[in-house]
Structure formats: structure tokens, C-alpha cells
């Protein structure tokens, strides 16, 4: 079964043990991003997205990295309605990652 976590960055048992920490962090980061975005604190929302992007890169989760990059671009260009739609997409992706992580032994 295909999984975001079956990628070359997570090629050892030790590294795969870090997945719950990663998922927990990005879930917290998502909450922080959503709160900042909804309160129009775009500067902080960009900082949080940047963090999510860095974590996604390190753990080889390309879909999350791309989504974070997309949102970074939209907010910088002040395309906020579009960014709001992509926020929903980001939430779904992180939920998917959370569900996948529970299936990993």
C-alpha cells in the first residue's frame, strides 16, 4: 500500500520511529497556522508554514512540502481567498498523514 511515509528519507527503523513526533508537530503547527491566518496575522502564518515546509522536507513528505510552498506563495501574493481553500486542503492532507502514521508499526 502506498504511503507518504514510504520514502527514501525514512529508510531505517530508527527514523520511522520519529514519525509520531513529526505528525504531532505538524498537527500543532497546523493549528497555529490556522489561528494566525484566521486572525489575519499573516507574518506569523508565513513563519509557521515555513516550519511545516522544513519538517516536510526533512521527512520526505513531498505532498506536504508542495502544499506548504503553495500556501506560502498565495499568502505572499495576498491571494487570501485562494489560500483559505488551500488551508482546507492542507488540513485534509495532515489528517491523512495522521491516519497513515497510526498504521505504521
Partner 1 sequence: MIDSKTKILLIDDSEAINEMNSYFFRQNIENVEILTAKNGKEALAIIENPDSEKLPDLVLLDLKMPVFNGIEFLEYLNSIEFSYKDKLNVILLTTSMNPDDKKRIGEFPFVSNYLIKPLSMKQVKIIISTNL
**Residues at the contact surface with partner 1, assessed by CB under 8 A:** 9, 12, 14-15, 18, 21-22, 25, 47, 50-51, 53-55, 57-60
The nearest distance, CB 15 to partner 1, in angstroms, is 6
Residue 30 has a CB neighbour count (10 Å cut-off) of 20
Q: Is the torsion defined by CA of 50, 54, 57, 63 positive or negative?
A: negative
CA dihedral 36, 42, 47, 52 (to 10 degrees): 60
Q: Which three cell numbers stand for residue 79?
A: 491571494
Of 19 and 83, which CB lies nearer to partner 1 in the complex structure?
Answer: 19
The nearest distance, CB 14 to partner 1, in angstroms, is 5
Q: Which of 81, 104, 82 is nearest to 13 (CA)?
A: 104
The nearest distance, CB 91 to partner 1, in angstroms, is 19
Q: Contact, 68 vs 49, CB < 8 A?
A: yes
Of 18 and 92, which CB lies nearer to partner 1 in the complex structure?
Answer: 18
The nearest distance, CB 44 to partner 1, in angstroms, is 9
Of 47 and 86, which CB lies nearer to partner 1 in the complex structure?
Answer: 47
Amino acid at each position: 500500500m502506498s504511503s507518504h511515509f514510504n520514502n527514501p528519507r525514512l529508510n531505517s527503523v530508527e527514523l520511522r520511529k520519529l514519525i509520531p513526533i513529526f505528525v504531532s508537530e505538524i498537527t500543532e503547527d497546523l493549528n497555529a497556522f490556522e489561528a494566525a491566518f484566521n486572525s489575519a496575522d499573516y507574518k506569523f502564518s508565513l513563519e509557521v508554514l515555513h516550519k511545516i515546509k522544513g519538517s516536510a522536507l526533512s521527512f520526505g513528505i513531498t505532498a506536504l512540502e508542495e502544499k506548504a510552498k503553495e500556501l506560502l506563495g498565495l499568502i505572499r501574493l495576498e491571494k487570501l481567498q485562494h489560500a483559505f481553500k488551500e488551508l482546507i486542503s492542507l488540513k485534509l492532507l495532515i489528517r491523512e498523514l495522521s491516519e497513515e502514521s497510526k498504521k505504521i508499526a
